Amino acid sequence: MLTEDEDIDLVKSAGKMILNIRQTGAITGSAVERFQDECFKMVKDVAKVMKQKVKKFLVEENINTPQSRNLLRELCVDDPFQLLRTMKQQLKYFAEELGLVPPETKFLAYRTNYKLNPTTLQYEPTRVPMSYQYIPVIKTLTLIMSNEKMRNLIEAKTPSADGIIRSYLDGTRAQTHPLVSRHPKILRLQLYWDDIEVVNPLGSKTTIHKIAAFYFSIQNLPPVESSQLSSIFLLALAFSEDIKYAGGFEKILAPFFAELRRLESETGIMIDIGIGRPFCFRATLTVLCADTLAAHDIMGLLAPGARHFCRFCMVSRATFRANLNAVSVRKTRAMLDEHVRLVEESLNLSTEFGVRKNCVLHLSRGFDATQDVIFDIFHDLLEGCCHWVVSLALHSFINVGKYFTLRDFRGRVEAFNYGVIDIKNKPSVNFTNDSLKGHKLKQTGCQMWCLIRIFGFLVPEVPEDDDNLKLVNLLQSILLIVFAEAVRPEDIVRLEQLIQEHHSLFQRLHVTPGFDVFADDSDDEEGDDPDDPPHPQEALDRQLRRNLKINPGNKLHHMTHYPELLRSHGSLIRYWCARYEGRHQIFCKYGSVCCNFINIVKSMAQMYQISTLSGILKTTKREDMELQGSENITVEFARHRHHLIECGLRPEDKVCDVEAVCIGGETYRPGLFVIVDTTTPTFAIIQYVYVKDKHAYLILMPWRTVDFERRYCAYQVVHIPDTEPIILRHSELGRHGVIPPWNPCNQRSTYIAPRTILF
């Protein structure tokens, strides 16, 4: 907020205005130009009105001095957008005045294109240069460390002292990493890459405009900050096809590793961040996050469909199909290097070891591809195993058990009371018989997470001892641990048991060894007479009444390595790809409005950097609390004045009586439950919310916990009559946030279903 005596720079205000408009990537350059023109017209009109009022005042007061005439001349404003008209001018201003890190164009190689010669009317080969956009990592880190709030958050990160595993520093890998173990404050970079289709997938520009995006994030940031999309920084942007022509990732990442060698040196680098003295810092690459296909590409492994498909162990596909819990010899860096050497001598050995070439990420000191490439729980579970288990369970309940119809289930999904938190992730009702064959359901990852959590509430008539319901319940219990931001050592032991039980039951119910396609080996009670074949509808009905047998996917095997990853790298939710994929949206939005696809990679890199700069500038101003529907009152007139005074407030203090308050991504509002004691556990419903300074005071009504019901993966709670409300600050609640109450279909009992384990 500007003070009255502070000078206002209209050019700077105009520059920040354009920065904030462009940062979404959803507006064209011509629209920005029209906005500038109209905005300047309005500024001139405001200045003209002010000049007329001042002139009228001077005439009425009979003031006619040189100073008054100078005042009237000062009221004529210049165009604040004069130096900000074009994108080139804007980028120059952002770089010089606000610290923008512009992308740099890097040459890759030449490729051969065929162009029509207008003279000969023949297509002739032409050499076309290929390039990509690279954002210098040292300049980006300098911009980040120049932000005082970001710098303090990064430097404050320390390992947990209570034995609970939360972050990378709490895992065993931090103790063996050659740089992190000696320099605990080193910046730990987390790399991600994936291909993006930025145009309409049904349009004519697909494939040729498919882009490979490389991002990085900083593990040192606390979870609240690192979960922000603005905390994901662009490293490089290239055409996917160009990577294949140019020899892969080595050339794309060469500038990055050149800078990383300086950052990983013993002395580090010295930078100027405006604190009056040089600032020394180091950085290293600790983790790669990617989906299975992208991870295999950059690691130099064969495709996920290979015989040896696992990047952590040497299990074969035949062994895995025979036993879903099978784990073979653990891969090591020395073993991988030896396999690469043997494959280079004889390409025929590639299928024997599952590798093609060396991993380019080994150019980083301390990075080990056999340890530091994390399995993505988002793709493995929410876009893989959860789909298979729910699909097969629905097939069993609808077509085999006949507990309800597909139409009934769709109606229940539509009518379920999700609550204000989960309504935005409401599952799609697009269920068909074809989708209930172990295939991927038509749900996004977030919708699938919501569906698997409410699944038991949608099928209350299914017996609790039903094997397919048990399979769903086992998967729900696995998700509680895997998606937790913190786990105890005993939770990891429990996870190992759950995964083994889940895989054993899945194999017994739905896996036929040796089959490569969806199959059904169930024996008919009565064989078909070849002279009297069954009616087609009768044959279809008979097929639907059988439990399906499917070919298990790699994602089931990935789950067997989750306990090891939790011990070595900490909470897996910090490495999932969902938040990186959310950052793709700026490219997709710009691709939908952009009319010029010439060098689209450069245009999109510029848009991304503008968005990054806007996010960093907002970090210093970001409010820790967002109030909704607030009303200022004094404590003595508050409905719960006695409770507020018990918390140390005075009767004359001002408080805000709010409808809701958002703190650290959690929205506290009446009607939602919080956990006040994790040992029992004890839940309480929010009745009122008051805010004073940076504290939210919650008026809570405790409910009694009856029991944990496995079929719902939730705690049943009941209201306690004649109970006095209690008051707690939001900081006293712990880390589980708010939870909506859920009710089973056609029942009135209330359940609380936490997203993660409670302790």
DSSP string, 21-49: HHTTS-S-HHHHHHHHHHHHHHHHHHHHH
- Identify the sign of the CA torsion 678, 679, 681, 687: negative
For residue 665, the model assigns a pLDDT of 81
Q: Do you find a cis peptide bond into 222, omega within 30 degrees of 0?
A: no
Task: List Cβ neighbours of 96 (8 Å cut-off, separation of 6 or more).
Answer: none
State the DSSP code for 8. Answer: -
- Of 291, 518, 473, the closest CA to residue 384 belongs to 291
End-to-end CA distance of the chain: 42
Instruction: Specify whether the CB–CB gap between 475 and 385 falls below 8 A.
Output: yes
Split the chain (759 residues) into runs of 10 and give each run's mean pLDDT: 64 90 84 90 90 90 88 85 91 93 93 86 88 96 91 89 94 95 94 88 66 95 88 95 83 96 94 86 96 94 93 95 95 96 92 93 95 97 96 94 95 95 94 84 95 96 96 98 96 98 96 52 40 52 64 95 97 94 89 80 93 82 75 94 93 95 90 93 96 93 96 96 93 88 93 95
Tokens 């907020």 -> residue: 1
Give the C-alpha separation, 22 to 12, whole Å. Answer: 15
- Of 723, 722, 715, 707, the closest CA to residue 751 belongs to 715
Task: List Cβ neighbours of 108 (8 Å cut-off, separation of 6 or more).
Answer: 129, 130, 131, 132, 238, 242, 245, 246, 251, 252
For residue 674, the model assigns a pLDDT of 96
Instruction: Specify whether the CB–CB gap between 510 and 547 falls below 8 A.
Output: yes
For residue 736, the model assigns a pLDDT of 85
Strand pairing class (373-374; 283-289) = parallel
Helices and strands: H and E segment counts in the chain: 29, 22
Cα–Cα distances (Å) from 744 to 87, 412, 674, 708, in that order, read: 56, 10, 20, 14
For residue 526, the model assigns a pLDDT of 38
Instruction: Specify whether the CB–CB gap between 218 and 187 falls below 8 A.
Output: yes
* 754-576-610 Cα angle (round to 5): 115
Tokens of 229: 């999309």
Cα–Cα distances (Å) from 554 to 302, 320, 439, 473, 519, in that order, read: 14, 9, 14, 21, 18
Q: How many of the other CB atoms lie within 10 Å of CB of 30? A: 9
Give the C-alpha separation, 327 to 312, whole Å. Answer: 9
Give the C-alpha separation, 319 to 325, whole Å. Answer: 9
Mutual orientation of helices 489-510 and 467-482 as an angle, nearest 10°? 150
Amino acid letter for position 453: R
* 87-90-93 Cα angle (round to 5): 150
What SS3 state is found at 637?
helix
Q: Which runs of consecutive H residues, i.e. helices, occur in 433-583?
A: 445-458, 467-482, 489-510, 536-544, 554-559, 562-569, 578-582
Instruction: Specify whether the CB–CB gap between 656 and 690 falls below 8 A.
Output: yes
- Of 238, 203, 26, 39, the closest CA to residue 130 belongs to 238
514 Ramachandran zone, left/alpha/beta (phi>0; psi -120 to 50): left
- Of 165, 177, 230, 186, the closest CA to residue 573 belongs to 165
Give the C-alpha separation, 136 to 630, whole Å. Answer: 44
Instruction: Specify whether the CB–CB gap between 270 and 174 falls below 8 A.
Output: no
* 358-556-737 Cα angle (round to 5): 105
Q: How far is CA 274 from the centre of its chain?
A: 32
503 half-sphere exposure, CB direction, 13 A CA radius: 24
Amino acid letter for position 83: L
Instruction: Specify whether the CB–CB gap between 211 and 601 falls below 8 A.
Output: yes
Q: What backbone phi and psi angles, to 5 degrees, belong to 285?
A: -90, 125
Tokens 């291909």 -> residue: 195
pTM attached to this predicted model: 0.90
- Of 292, 279, 237, 243, the closest CA to residue 108 belongs to 243
Give the C-alpha separation, 30 to 636, whole Å. Answer: 56
Task: List Cβ neighbours of 398 (8 Å cut-off, separation of 6 or more).
Answer: 404, 405, 406, 409, 436
Instruction: Specify whether the CB–CB gap between 753 and 453 falls below 8 A.
Output: yes
Instruction: Specify whether the CB–CB gap between 295 and 580 falls below 8 A.
Output: no
Give the C-alpha separation, 297 to 503, whole Å. Answer: 28
